[in-house]
Amino acid sequence: MSPLPDLTGRDPEVIDLMRIPGKATFLRICCTLLLGVITFTAQNTSVQAQTRELPSSRQDVQLSFAPLVKRVAPSVVNVFTRKTVQSRRETPFFNDPFFRRFFGDQFGGNQQRERTVNSLGSGVIVGADGVIVTNNHVIDGADEIRIVLSDRREFDAKLLVADERSDLAVLKALTDEPLPFLELMDSDEIEVGDLVLAIGNPFGFGQTVTSGIVSARARTTVGITDFSFFIQTDASINPGNSGGALVGLDGRLLGVNTAIYSKDGGSNGIGFAVPANMVRAVINSAASGKVVRPWLGASGQTVTADIAASLNLDKPLGVVLNRVHPKGPAASSGLQVGDVVLAIDGKPLPDAQSLKFRLGTRSVGGTARMTILRSGKSRDVDVELIAPPEDPEPNPIRVSGNLPISGAAFINLSPAFNETKGIDTLITGVAVTEIARGSPADRIGFEPGDIILSVNETKIERVSDIKKLLASPPQEWALKVRRGSRVISVKVRG
């Protein structure tokens, strides 16, 4: 094969693109030139030259997203919110001992005042009737929500459903006018390297479009939400882009931009979007006003290299079940502790987060086909997808008085309650739901979400066990509390 001609008169390996005049044009047409050069040979150079022509202008070779932007940008809105918050107003000299000696501890030290906080973000219209999806953190706690279209039309909006676990929220624009909207694509169709556009309202400057590629399809090591399964892109995303659109070249919604990885607050080319398949699941829940996800009744851990070796697997893939609820759908379908779930409906599961995501995008009432490995043999198992049961009933109580747990509110854990809070649905017991400020429970250090394991070595399994303690409170309390993955021991006098 003949060597490529030297178009510069120099060694091609030392071409300095920064010094080539008209470098922008060169970079755009280099692929065209290269394809033409490869077809050259010593015998037919003159013939090829007659049939191929160089572009006569920049417009002939310029790649433009303008037609796509004109089509999709009207469906991306700015979201403005307003909320009233309580804040403490401290007298400037209140912490001065001399000042407090004369005026006392109660003089203006912790005056409460209300203030209004305005915030902004982005949203995507996903229905002609004005249904809009955005991030939950954009509208969290908002008293007023207003959306502004690219043509400057403005509408008030109401919240249909908020899902803290996926950081998604669904709004409804209060208008009867039909609005432009984006269709959702199947986010499993994307490939790494696909071109994408990010559209939003960064820093409140107004609608802004940036381009990039899909850098990763399923980034599961990002602890942004309970469903840590994100599309990663290098399209520039900045504060204010939250809730905006990540679209493919076919104009369909690929994901909702949610977060960036940054050490200084700026864009470093690492942005994350909630996949459209999760967005669709939350939108479908808007009619009921709450998000209900299927309950498997089993939990597991990611198959590591060591686990894979012990199971004679070729590579670490899947989720090995380590707990199965005896009355859950998994047990009813024959799943057992030690089974390795390799895929759901043909979608491979690289880790435990993928299992949670795949179930989270399914609807209650259907079935999921799980490919499992047991004793070295692969098989398919159909699992019914049911709503998590409220068993036992919540039976909430609030403790008053001067006991160590006074000021705390407790509730029975159940799969239904745990699902709403992102707690492992197989964990049972009694959880703290609220703490009154300044109460004995607050001073001890209780926090909402704590799970009471035992008091004085007596196991606490139900709220009824707390009630028994209140009927005859001990003089000393030795409490064991689970907080996340830690177990905390506390000893106090009654």
Find all residues with CB under 8 Å of 306, minimum gap 6, and list them. none
d(CA 284, CA 282): 5
Cβ neighbours of 421 (radius 10 Å): 14
264 is catalytic: no
The two three-digit tokens of residue 210, written as one number: 């940036």
Q: Of 122, 163, 166, 167, which one is the catalytic site residue?
A: 167
Q: Of 75, 122, 137, 163, which one is the catalytic site residue?
A: 137
167 is catalytic: yes
Q: Buried (b) or exposed (e) across 269-304, using 16+ Cβ within 10 A?
A: ebbbbbbbbbbbbbbebbeeeebebbbbbbbbebbe
Q: Of 75, 187, 242, 299, which one is the catalytic site residue?
A: 242
Q: Which sign does the torsion angle of CA 326, 332, 337, 343 carry? A: negative
Q: SS3 string of the chain?
A: CCCCCCCCCCCHHHCCHHHCCCHHHHHHHHHHHHHHHHCCCCCCHHHHHHHCCCCCCHHHCCCCCHHHHHHHHHHEEEEEEEEEEEEEECCCCCCCHHHHHHHCCCCCCCEEEEEEEEEEEEEEECCCCCEEEEEHHHHCCCCEEEEECCCCCEEEEEEEEEECCCCEEEEEECCCCCCCCCCECCHHHCCCCCEEEEEECHHHCCCEEEEEEEEEEEECCCCCCCCCCEEEECCCCCCCCCCCEEEECCCCEEEEEEEECCCCCCCCCCEEEEEHHHHHHHHHCCCCCCCCCCECCEEEEECCHHHHHHCCCCCCCCEEEEEECCCCHHHHCCCCCCCEEEEECCEECCCHHHHHHHHHCCCCCCEEEEEEEECCEEEEEEEECECCCCCCCCCCEECCCCCCCCCEEEEECCHHHHHHHCCCCCCCCEEEEEECCCCHHHHHCCCCCCEEEEECCEECCCHHHHHHHHHCCCCEEEEEEEECCEEEEEEEEC
Find all residues with CB under 8 Å of 308, minimum gap 6, and list them. 314, 315, 316, 317
d(CA 289, CA 283): 10
325 is catalytic: no
Give the residue numbers annotated as catalytic, written as ranges: 137, 167, 242
